[in-house]
Structure 1
Amino acid sequence: MSDETTVSSCGRTCTARGSYEETTTTSRRCDDLPRGMKGSGSETGSSPVNRTIKKKILQIFYVIIIGLIDHAIGYGSSKSYLHQEIYGSGPSFVQPVGNQTAAIGREAVFSCYVRNIGKYKVGWLKTSDQTVLSLNTKIVTHNTRIAVSYETGGCSSLPSIPMGIHSVTGNNQVTDEGVNCTWRLHIRHLKESDRGCYMCQINTSPMKSELGCLDILVPPDIVYGEETSKDLSVSEGENVTLNCQATGKPTPRVSWRREDGHHILIRNSTSFSNRKNIHFQTVEVYNDTKLQFYRVDRQQMGVYMCIATNDVPPSVSKRVTLEVNFAPVVEAPTQLLGGPVGKRITLECTVEAHPNTINYWQLNETGMLLDGPKYEIRETRIGYKIKMTLVIKKFTQYDPGNYKCIATNSLGKGESSIRLYDLKLQDDISIIGGLAEAARGSSNATNFHPNSLIYITLGALQLLVRVACSR
């Protein structure tokens, strides 16, 4: 090939390709030729580099114009360049599946929003054991509590999706690929075993998936067995702890109350002190799983309620009965009484004991007095306290003496004495509840004379004199 042909060919190549491509394997670069041999095929007034830059700018401008037109007229073809640049060529998720929290026994629903599903399928599976639950709208698992539902256009109202992407009338293929679909996984009658994460999966290559986790709220439940106290029976002075354990999600709060509504008594000090001088801290509600009593006292005996709650209804409770055992303690409020013959006399004693006692009265230690024509015997029980009452229906000259109220149980025996005397007064005196009251003109002592206090005082002085003389 001649030099002129080579230059001519090279000139055309430089004009078209900017002096960078060789025409044949034997031809030289245009830049290697002499200055006078480069311009035979080039355009005048513009360099090849400038022309290339202008062409690229025009191409970019053209793409932008096409994109603006596509957005303005709602052009929805997934084959367009702009659609592929923004959304890709395959299906995609519109938004995350999200997490769910529901109480046991209720229903949880996971929603999976997918765009441009096309020929692909959507499935649900549980990630903990990789159990496949469904494929499209078909249930795969044998769990009857699992269901799926399918909706088209379920995401069309979401603000994150640009307008003009979902539908094109008259083009079924574009509508099938561009529509937004929703697959919902329904889990009914929730159990604790349903807790975990669930995956919405599209069978693309590589696989696409979104994850949502389920947390199950469980109402509180009392743990029975060694962890929770049963009814207790202890001796007075022992250390006692009431335990109450509960399960649930979230962790339950445990508190204690007394069933009778009284305040809970907590000993302030661990030091020993006389029963009558014990100081207690009183609380209406005690918040803890353990209720401790140091050197338990009879006043702390009762029924306690363990209550567990975690804001997931219903709350639960358990009754724990605390019995404090001690020997009987018997006291007579009045140990010396005087009564006139023919009147009704009442004697009283108080008993504190647990377990229950056998209670009876004696006169001069000769035997047990029985309820009948002569005597009326009553008992009133409130908790561990008992009020013993002996009524002498008609006091006679044979009734004065030493009366004993006696109480006995498995832990011991207690007794107290009341000495009863024949009281002779000048005026008509009636004895009510062991007290002498003067009544003028009436044997029922319903109306007091203005000088009744004087008569009472005189009667008391006379009684003291007679007691002193008898000793």
Structure 2
Amino acid sequence: MWNGQLFVFLRIFCQLLTYAYVCNAFQEEWTMHNKSNVTIPIGNITVSLGREAVFNCFVNITGRYKVNKVAWVRAEDHTILSIGTKVVTHNSRIFVSHDNLYTWQMRIKQVKESDRGCYLCEVNTNAMGTQEACLEVNVPPDIFNEDTSGDLSASEGENATLWCKASGHPPPRITWKKENGEPIFIRTNLRTFSTVDTYNGTNLNFWKVDRSQMGTYLCIASNDVPPAVSKRLSLYVNFSPSIKVPNQLLGAPVQTDVQLECYVEAYPNTINYWVKNRSEMLLNGTKYLVREERVGYRISMWLVIKGFTAKDAGTYNCVSTNSLGKSEGTLRLYEIKFNPINTFNNRAELIGDFSETDKGPRSKEVIISNTANRRYITSTLIFTLLFNIYNIR
């Protein structure tokens, strides 16, 4: 009898346990259905290429299987990236973690451009919850070498264009600057130019290019994603030589050093030399010092005649030639003669013809190297000129 009663008691006890388990299970599922939701928006993210993107999804969910109820999904193609904390996509750069409370975190390391897009945090219960966040990937600029003009050569008067293209996200801006800090010359008509410090645009156009526009330009690409990048592009303008002579007529006393000057503009590079009386080429030595200096397409030429004598008087030519042409500048050098100091009337007399030095604004007395001679001759000239003016009056 007692055995039968014990069996009935045990049977009832087991039924009660089963009922309690079912009730608890029902209560657990009911809690998930009614309380599971994504409570805080994730928020969009912007990162630079190669950095790490971190998404935090805050979910209020309870229950024994709550971990497996949360999934990360790529919105564009509905690719499932993870279920719970397990990554199911074949992407070794994605990591998912859970802090055992309310935060599910997805990290994408070494972000690529292909990661750009939107992602979903989904709570897969009967009352399904979803939050969406988008990833923007910024890419620093990079100049396309194959789609950039490179160095350019053009003849003066032709049209020329430097161009430069770059990639990046957001799309980069192209700015042009002159490498040496000088302004950029933009032709407005046949005779005039406007100047700008910078020029914006993919193409830098030169209409009827001029020698003043020759130089090295910097193409700078920037989109506020560091670092900005630049590329050097050189513009060469070809033209035949032209020569300017600042002083075409010079006079000098004997036993002084005389310097002759010519200024050349030409490109490509020139061969420059001096000749006397259109026959004798002058070379460096004890009598002559030949020197030149180049800055861009400008060349300065100097000829120093040491210990000037009457035989050195004559016509001198500076000559410049390149593949496009030849140019000459002419200078005339003459002797200035003085009488010794006249002790009787205490004045100096100029024997040379004064009209030679008054032939126009280009005539000029040369610089004398000897300081004592310079002072003596200068004071003598001034005294003689004042005396002659006084006598004329």
Find 1:149's aligned residue among 75, 97, 101. Answer: 97
Find 1:230's aligned residue among 150, 159, 172. Answer: 150
Aligned to 1:360: 273
After TM superposition, give the deviation of residue 422 of structure 1 in Å. Answer: 2.2
After TM superposition, give the deviation of residue 94 of structure 1 in Å. Answer: 1.2
Alignment deviations for residues 199-232 of structure 1 (CA, whole Å, 9 cap, x no partner): 2223335754322211101111212223x22111
After TM superposition, give the deviation of residue 143 of structure 1 in Å. Answer: 2.2
2:365 pairs with 1:435: yes
2:271 pairs with 1:350: no
Aligned to 1:135: 83
In structure 2, list runs of 5 or more residues that go unmatched.
1-24, 341-347, 351-362, 389-393
Question: For residues 195 and 236 of structure 1, what CA distance do their matches in structure 2 show?
Answer: 49
Alignment deviations for residues 179-209 of structure 1 (CA, whole Å, 9 cap, x no partner): xx21100011111111011122233357543
Question: For residues 447 and 341 of structure 1, what CA distance do their matches in structure 2 show?
Answer: 11
Aligned to 1:323: 236
Q: 1:186 to 1:438 in 2, by over 3 A?
A: closer
Aligned to 2:53: 108
Q: 1:284 to 1:113 in 2, by over 3 A?
A: same
Query: Residue type of the partner of 1:141?
Result: T
Q: 1:199 to 1:456 in 2, by over 3 A?
A: farther
Larger relative contact order (CA 8 Å, sep ≥ 6): 2
Query: Residue type of the partner of 1:89?
Result: N
Question: For residues 77 and 370 of structure 2, what CA distance do their matches in structure 1 show?
Answer: 98
2:357 pairs with 1:412: no
In structure 1, list runs of 5 or more residues that go unmatched.
1-76, 154-180, 273-277, 460-471
2:341 pairs with 1:341: no
Aligned to 2:13: none
Q: 1:437 to 1:369 in 2, by over 3 A?
A: closer
After TM superposition, give the deviation of residue 401 of structure 1 in Å. Answer: 1.5
Cα contact 1:439–1:447 (8 A) shared by 2: no
Cα contact 2:240–2:267 (8 A) shared by 1: yes
Instruction: Report % sequence identity.
Output: 48
Cα contact 1:439–1:448 (8 A) shared by 2: no
Q: 1:414 to 1:440 in 2, by over 3 A?
A: closer
| Structure (1 or 2) with the larger CA radius of gyration | 1
2:71 pairs with 1:123: yes
Question: For residues 109 and 439 of structure 1, what CA distance do their matches in structure 2 show?
Answer: 79
Cα contact 1:437–1:456 (8 A) shared by 2: no
Cα contact 2:256–2:368 (8 A) shared by 1: no
Question: For residues 35 and 371 of structure 2, what CA distance do their matches in structure 1 show?
Answer: 116
Aligned to 2:109: 188
After TM superposition, give the deviation of residue 327 of structure 1 in Å. Answer: 0.1
Note the aligned Cα RMSD (angstroms). 3.1
Find 1:445's aligned residue among 375, 380, 390. Answer: 375
SS for the counterpart of 1:105 is coil
Q: 1:142 to 1:445 in 2, by over 3 A?
A: farther
Aligned to 1:462: none
Find 2:182's aligned residue among 258, 262, 278. Answer: 262
Question: For residues 370 and 103 of structure 2, what CA distance do their matches in structure 1 show?
Answer: 101
Aligned to 2:18: none
After TM superposition, give the deviation of residue 295 of structure 1 in Å. Answer: 0.9
Cα contact 1:306–1:320 (8 A) shared by 2: yes
SS for the counterpart of 2:92 is coil
Q: 1:439 to 1:413 in 2, by over 3 A?
A: closer
Query: Residue type of the partner of 1:400?
Result: A
* TM-score relative to the length of structure 2: 0.79
Question: For residues 361 and 440 of structure 1, what CA distance do their matches in structure 2 show?
Answer: 25
2:285 pairs with 1:372: yes
Find 1:332's aligned residue among 225, 228, 245. Answer: 245
Aligned to 2:121: 200
Matches within 5 A, 1:5-154: 79=27, 88-89=33-34, 91-118=36-63, 119-120=65-66, 121=68, 122-153=70-101
Q: 1:458 to 1:324 in 2, by over 3 A?
A: farther
Query: Residue type of the partner of 1:284?
Result: D
Find 2:134's aligned residue among 213, 224, 244. Answer: 213
Cα contact 1:219–1:310 (8 A) shared by 2: yes
Cα contact 2:258–2:366 (8 A) shared by 1: no
After TM superposition, give the deviation of residue 116 of structure 1 in Å. Answer: 1.9
